[in-house]
Amino acid sequence: MEWSRQIKVARRGLRTALRTASAVMAPAAVVGSPTWGTGVVLEVPEFGDNPGKLAMRMYTPHDLPGRAPLVVLLHGCGQDAAGFAVESGWIALAERIGLALVLPEQSDTNNRQRCFHWFRAADTERGKGEVGSIRAMVTEAVRRCDSDPGRVFVVGLSAGAAMAAALLAAYPDVFAAGASVAGLPVGAASGAASALAHMAHAGPEDRPPEAWAALARDMGPPDYHGPWPRLSIWHGGLDNVVDPGNADLLARQWCALHGIGVAEPAVAVGLVARHVTWRDATGPAVEVWTIPAMAHGYPTVGVGMPVVGVLPVGLSATDRIAAFWGLL
């Protein structure tokens, strides 16, 4: 009886958390008309296997050069792919530096809040579910755009951030680097109730870094030994949807994958954010940006009212992430 009551409480809490996320992430309209190669978002109806039943949208700037980078952008709960691509600044950056965007989109048929299923093994195991669909989108986009297969990246917000980390773990042989904004570590949950628990409270450090790393390794190719993708992690100190402690756990997980100790990072403190970097033999491998005054959302450099889960805090996550990846 007690267990049944706890499950009901957890489910009510999950619905509340998802409503909170949806309230700050209202859907936006698709940009432009479906015309290939003219600098608008278009739908790609056929892209191969689609076990996760996701929609594929793409943005390619004018005069996209061959062998350009490819970025997968994963929206948060309640958002649409094209609106998030505009408001986060990724479309502007794609035009500025010449890169293609893959914009997977969740449907309300799959999830009523339009959240990616980062907490379900059926959607995060290599070759299955939603990560299998996104992998097929990458293959199709590389073919269409003649993209550089060595410069494929993924970034996401909230549920999209947790799914981005899952993709990096499942396909470390596909992605060169990634970014998680208000996300969670790989393997943090195995269902809706445990997802709620880790969103609300990251909890005490109940696993050493190597145990967290093992959860990520188990999702990747058999006998894969690296290199692992580099990771940029972002979180607001006032986030009441996803506990900011998850950023620390994700950093510990990814440092362990890279064989880096977490004891002596490089730390820089600015007016807006605290920036922590861990390096390996090749350069910066893991970084964490903490913005103490920011709530749940994606940071941008603008000023004014928050729009669709994108928060104007005076710092562009998009530019900083692209720089960390070596695109700027």
Q: What angle do CA 298, 299, 303 make, to 5 degrees?
A: 125
In one-letter notation, the amino acid at residue 56 is: M
| Contact status, residue 25 vs residue 77, Cβ threshold 8 Å | yes
The yes-or-no answer on residue 180 being catalytic is no
Alpha helices by DSSP H, the chain? 2-23, 81-87, 90-97, 121-124, 129-145, 159-170, 192-200, 209-217, 245-257, 317-325
- State CA 67 to chain mean position distance: 23
Instruction: Compute CA distances 214 → 73, 175, 187, 224, 256, whole Å.
Output: 26, 19, 9, 12, 9
SS3 100: strand
| Contact status, residue 315 vs residue 323, Cβ threshold 8 Å | no
**Peptide linkage before 209 cis (omega within 30 of 0):** no
- Angstrom distance (rounded) from CA 62 to CA 24: 32
Q: Which of 88, 158, 180, 316 is catalytic?
A: 158
Instruction: Tell me the catalytic residues.
Output: 158
